[in-house]
Amino acid sequence: ANYILMKARLILSLSALILAPCSTYAAIDYQSQVRPILRSNCYKCHGGPRAKKDFRMDKEDTLKEHIGPGKYIVPGKPDESLVIKLISLPESDSDRMPPPNRGAHLERADITTLKQWILEGALLEPGDTPPVPVVAEAPPTDEPMVDKEALHTWKSKTGKEIKAYFVRVEGSNLVLRSEAGAEKPFPGTLFAQESIDLAKKLATQ
Q: What is the DSSP string of 11-35?
A: HHHHHHHHHHHHHHTPPPPIIIIIH
pLDDT, tens digit, for every residue of 28-69? 889 999 999 999 999 989 988 888 888 999 999 899 999 998
- pLDDT tens series, the chain, 205 aa: 555 555 555 444 444 434 444 444 457 889 999 999 999 999 989 988 888 888 999 999 899 999 998 899 999 899 999 999 999 988 888 888 988 776 667 888 999 999 999 988 898 876 555 544 444 444 444 556 778 889 999 998 888 899 999 998 887 788 899 988 889 888 888 888 899 889 888 887 7
Dist CA 160 CA 31 (whole Å): 25
Sign of CA dihedral 18, 152, 133, 118: positive
Give the model's pLDDT for residue 28.
Answer: 85
Which residues pair with residue 164 across a beta bridge?
Answer: 152
Question: Vertex 202, ends 198 and 205: CA angle to 5°?
Answer: 140
